[in-house]
Structures are given as C-alpha cells and as structure tokens.
Amino acid sequence: MLRRYQVVAAPAFERETRRLRKRLPGVHESLRAAVELLEADPFNLQGRANIRKLVDVPPGEGQFRLRVGDYRLRYDVVGKQVILHSMRPRGRSYR
C-alpha cells in the first residue's frame, strides 16, 4: 500500500490505547491495520473503509471517524498529517 500521509498520535490517544491494550490484547492488530489504512487514504476516496466526516465538529476534536469493530477512532487531517485523537467505544466516542 502506498504511504502518502504521516500518522501522528496525540498524547490523549496514546493514554487511551495503552489502557485499551491491557484490557483487549487483540486490539493492537486492529489498530495497526487502521493506521496503515489512514496512511494511504484518510479521506476514504477509494471507499474501502467505514470512514465518515462528522458534522459540526471543529478542527482539533476529530473531524473524521473510522470504525474499528465496536470502537471509533477519531482523527483530523492537517496537510499531510493524520492526527489521532481518540479510540473509544461507540457510546462514548461522540460525547
């Protein structure tokens, strides 16, 4: 897969995923696949992923979301960087 974007994790994202990996060891592989997908196509131009642009969400709060099983990964795209903000269960992701 061609890598066109650099994926960067915000400190809050690192904390959340560290706790998540302790509870769900298999989430590491799902997260790795999600990062590879975002490196190639964060806007989902090819239509291969379950990515949505969220309505009325300001930049810096995760304008896009990627579905990863029961979790939602929220991120922003700034230039050629994809900034990961959070990875939470669906019910907590939109609060």
The rounded distance, in Å, linking the Cα atoms of 79 and 81 is: 6
Q: What is the mean pLDDT of each run of 10 residues along the chain (95 residues)?
A: 85 91 86 93 90 90 90 93 91 66
- 92 φ, ψ to 5°? -95, -10
- Distance from chain centroid for Cα 32: 10
In the chain the domains, ranked by start, together with CATH numbers, are: 6-93 (3.30.2310.20)
Q: Is the pTM of this model over 0.85?
A: yes
Q: Is the dihedral of CA 79, 80, 83, 87 positive or negative?
A: positive
